[in-house]
């Protein structure tokens, strides 16, 4: 009887301990699952918030770049207007040359410009700043920026980026974006058609993008310039 009672006590204690163990295990499992779900929800929420912040930041940077580029291009268009209406309108090319005025304007904008040039309708060079000679095998009148300027005389035209090869520089030819327009040239009181060309520095445009924190900003500039076209 004594051994039977002892074994019954042991069995009851084991059963009691087993129930407590099951409750403990269940509670632990529920706690772990709850924490895992909570962590998952927090990670998902953080991921969505980070993505939204990145999108907002990217949109804001692109808007800033677009604004900077718009200002840059407007400045170049105003320079074009200055040459057209304040320089060429006031001189007779048989009596004087616009070279000095072009040199002054070029020096004021040399960080943004590679060159300024004025051509007759035939493609002959009238004046350029800096003072350079055309390459002997170049025919400006056959290039798209020249053709577009004479075909649509009421507009100013931006080209896609390309390597400038008009002048005998004795150095590597730079990447440029051209701004061209029709201008009126006066010879002995007679008005003739011509083309004004401003070659903008591609590195200057890249700098605008880099200043706004876009790595490889030149690619963005190309896309925005293409949109301007």
Residue 36 counted as domain residue? no
182 pLDDT more than 60: yes
pLDDT tens digits, residue range 20-44? 665 666 677 778 787 888 888 888 8
Residue 7 counted as domain residue? no
- Residue 201 is predicted with a pLDDT of 84
Residue 130 counted as domain residue? yes
pLDDT tens digits, residue range 129-139? 998 888 888 89
How many Cβ atoms from other residues are within 10 Å of residue 169's Cβ?
Answer: 16
Count the domains in the chain. Answer: 1
In angstroms, rounded to a whole number, what is the distance separating the alpha carbons of residues 112 and 108? 9
Residue 2 counted as domain residue? no
Domain span at 98: 62-228
> How much is the pTM?
0.68
Residue 1 counted as domain residue? no
Residue 13 counted as domain residue? no
Average pLDDT, the chain: 80
* CATH code of the domain covering residue 138: 3.30.450.20
Residue 148 counted as domain residue? yes
Residue 186 counted as domain residue? yes
180 pLDDT more than 70: yes
């Amino acid at each position: 009887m004594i051994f039977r009672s002892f074994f019954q006590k042991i069995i009851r204690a084991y059963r009691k301990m087993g129930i407590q163990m099951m409750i403990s295990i269940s509670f632990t499992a529920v706690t772990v699952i709850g924490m895992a779900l909570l962590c998952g929800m927090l990670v998902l929420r953080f991921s969505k918030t980070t993505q939204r912040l990145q999108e907002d930041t990217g949109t804001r940077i692109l808007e800033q770049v677009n604004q900077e580029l718009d200002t840059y291009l407007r400045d170049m268009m105003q320079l074009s207007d200055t040459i057209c209406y304040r320089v060429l309108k006031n001189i007779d090319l048989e009596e004087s040359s616009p070279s000095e005025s072009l040199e002054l304007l070029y020096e004021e904008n040399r960080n943004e410009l590679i060159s300024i040039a004025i051509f007759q309708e035939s493609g002959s060079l009238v004046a350029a700043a800096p003072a350079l000679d055309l390459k002997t095998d170049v025919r400006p009148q056959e290039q798209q920026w020249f053709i577009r300027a004479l075909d649509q005389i009421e507009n100013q035209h931006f080209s896609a980026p390309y390597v400038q090869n008009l002048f005998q520089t004795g150095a590597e030819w730079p990447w440029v974006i051209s701004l061209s327009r029709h201008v009126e040239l006066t010879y002995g009181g007679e008005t003739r058609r011509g083309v004004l060309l401003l070659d903008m520095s591609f590195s200057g445009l890249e700098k605008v993008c880099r200043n706004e924190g876009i790595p490889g900003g030149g690619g963005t500039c190309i896309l925005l310039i293409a949109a301007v076209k």
